[in-house]
Amino acid sequence: MTVKFVLREDKKDQNGQVPVFVVATFEGLRLRCFTREKCLPKEWNADKQRFRKGKEGFEEANDVLVAIAERLQKRYRDLRTAGTPPTLALLREVVNPAAIKPEQSMAEAMTAYIEVLRGRGYAFNTLRHYGTARNHLAAFLSSGRRKKISVAEYDGATHDEFVKYLRTTCGLGANGIYTVLKDVKTFLRHAQDERKQNLGLELKRVEVRYADQAKTYLTGADLTALAAVKLPKTLEPARDVFLFCCYTGLRYSDVASLHGGNLHCLGANGDGDRVLRLVQTKTRATVSIYLSRLAAEILDRYAKPERAGEGAKLLPVLANQPMNRYLKKITQLAGLTRLVEVVSTVGGRVVKEAVPLHELVTMHTARHTFAVQSLLRGMPVAVLQRVMGHAKIQNTMKYAQVVEELQHQAMRAAWDVPATPPSEAAPEGAVCSVMTAA
């Protein structure tokens, strides 16, 4: 390939300047293309094919011509090596490359990632969580001079500043930070693995740690007190919906959308046990839940059997925020005011405080209560896993209070049984005595 630069004096503009064209000849083809450079005819050295010193900015202009020639030669060699026939169109792109699209900022890239997840059919609540993480990230980047920072520029130091921002400016706790960083890390992994982008830090540098916390749940006595308390008519529906979830393990999102199509009768004549069959909103898992006597009584109080097939809502569920607000008042009226220790980290220090139980109760407390009470009443873990729709049995075993209660039972059996009679005491000096059954 030969590359030359020539003036097109037949295209003189109103200022007397003429354009500089590049002419490339290769394999019987001839490419002629405007270089976007102009000059007066006297400012051009035809022998050297370069601008004379008399042209303002001649050095920079000559560098442009050199770069064009080098790009053409390299592109030509690359095409030949790849076995691709060089064409005029392919080489013309080298002379006047299209304007390079500015690299997306990190916040813009994460917005695009959320749209990818939307297209892949991710659930609304999952997209909402990613949107929250994106909003925190965008606010952090806008708070300094980092607004246009890209994925490749998001380095370890910037990440440390982001974590500090979440903790101090946003006031997030350990698990709030965990939720944000988990979503950001998943986004960065997508950028690296699927979009082949270079990251400014190693993914293992993005620490994601979940701090196990004691889950609030109600005892059997609490449930009895809650069911028996006299309430104003305006609070009764919220109490009943909460108890229904305590008896079935349903999440708020699932109980709020229960309709007649979820209710089934196992008896041939419609007089047998009743069950709920539904697809969980969060996990998309299909679950079948037996309605115990207590759960059935609540359902019968509100559900209209004659409308069971019309898709009518089975229970009067309010919005989540009012439900949680009412529950705190309801549980307080029911006497659930015993103190519970709450542990948090403030300024790097562990802070413990005693909080009344009723202040901690939310709709999700019902799900924890169901899991704990079911296991304490003898339900096998594998069965509980199916009822709750957990994909992994480890999720079912996260209810630490169950282990705590079983520990109490074992210690009660070990320490509160009658002491061994002196006649059956172990011989002096013996470490352990094993008794065999008669």
Residues of the chain with CATH 1.10.150.130: 106-205
State the pLDDT at residue 425: 45
In whole angstroms, what is the distance from residue 45 CA to residue 266 CA? 97
Rounded Cα–Cα distance for residues 179 and 282 (Å): 16
φ, ψ dihedrals at 337, nearest 5°? -115, 5
pLDDT, average across residues 358-385: 90
137-163 as b/e: b if 16+ CB within 10 A: bbebbeeeebeebbbeebeeebbeebb
Residue 4 sits at φ, ψ, to 5 deg, of: -130, 160
Which is higher by pLDDT, 433 or 410? 410
For residues 189-210, give the mean pLDDT: 83
Q: Which residue has the higher pLDDT, 29 or 181?
A: 181
Q: Which residues contact 119 (CB under 8 A, 6 or more apart)?
A: none
The residue with greater pLDDT, 94 or 260, is 260
Rg (CA), the chain: 36
pLDDT at site 230: 96
**Residue 209 CB-density burial (10 A; 0-12 exposed, 13-18 middle, 19+ buried):** exposed
Q: 């309430």: which residue's tokens?
A: 231
| One-letter-per-residue 3-state SS of the chain | CEEEEEECHHHCCCCCCEEEEEEEEECCEEEEEEEEEEECHHHEECCCCEECCCCCCHHHHHHHHHHHHHHHHHHHHHHHHCCCCCCHHHHHHHHCCCCCCCCCCHHHHHHHHHHHHHHCCCCHHHHHHHHHHHHHHHHHHHCCCCCCCCCCCCCHHHHHHHHHHHHHHCCCCHHHHHHHHHHHHHHHHHHHHCCCCCCCCCHHHCCCCCCCCCCCCCCHHHHHHHHHCCCCCCCHHHHHHHHHHHHHCCCHHHHCCCEHHHEEECCCCCCCCEEEEEECCCCCCEEEEECCHHHHHHHHHHCCHHHHHHCCECCCCCCHHHHHHHHHHHHHHCCCCCEEEEEEEECCEEEEEEEEHHHCCCHHHHHHHHHHHHHHCCCCHHHHHHHHCCCCHHHHCCCHHHHHHHHHHHHHHHHCCCCCCHHHCCCCCCCCCCCCCC
- For residue 437, the model assigns a pLDDT of 39
Q: Note the pLDDT tens digit of each residue in 63-100.
A: 989 988 998 888 888 878 877 777 767 667 777 765 44
Output the pLDDT for position 199. 87
Average pLDDT over residues 272-289: 89
What are the distances in angstroms from CA 257 to CA 254, 274, 325? Answer: 5, 18, 20
- Name the phi and psi angles at 138, rounded to 5: -65, -40
Q: What span, in angstroms and rounded, lies between the C-alpha atoms of 97 and 112?
A: 26
| Segments of the chain assigned to CATH 1.10.443.10 | 214-414
- List pLDDT tens digits, range 113-126: 999 999 888 888 88
Q: What is the mean pLDDT of residues 386-409?
A: 74
Instruction: Please state the separation of Cα 241 from the chain's center in Å.
Output: 28
Question: What does the pLDDT average to over 125-141?
Answer: 92
Amino acid residing at 259: H
pLDDT (0 to 100) of residue 234: 94
pLDDT at 308 over 60: no
Between 320 and 309, name the one with better pLDDT.
320
CA 415 to CA 239: how far, in whole Å? 39
Band of pLDDT at residue 435, cut at 50, 70 and 90: very low
Q: What is the CATH number of domain 106-205?
A: 1.10.150.130
Measured distance between the N- and C-terminal CA atoms of the chain, rounded to whole angstroms: 104
**32, pLDDT greater than 80:** yes
Arithmetic mean of pLDDT, 384-397: 83
Is it the case that residue 329 has pLDDT exceeding 90? yes
pLDDT tens figures, 292-301? 999 999 999 9
What are the b/e assignments for 383-422, b being 16+ CB within 10 Å? ebbbbbbbeeeeebbebebbeebeeeeeeeeeeeeeeeee
Note the pLDDT of residue 75: 84
The pLDDT mean for the chain works out to 84
**In the CATH scheme, what is the code of domain 214-414?**
1.10.443.10
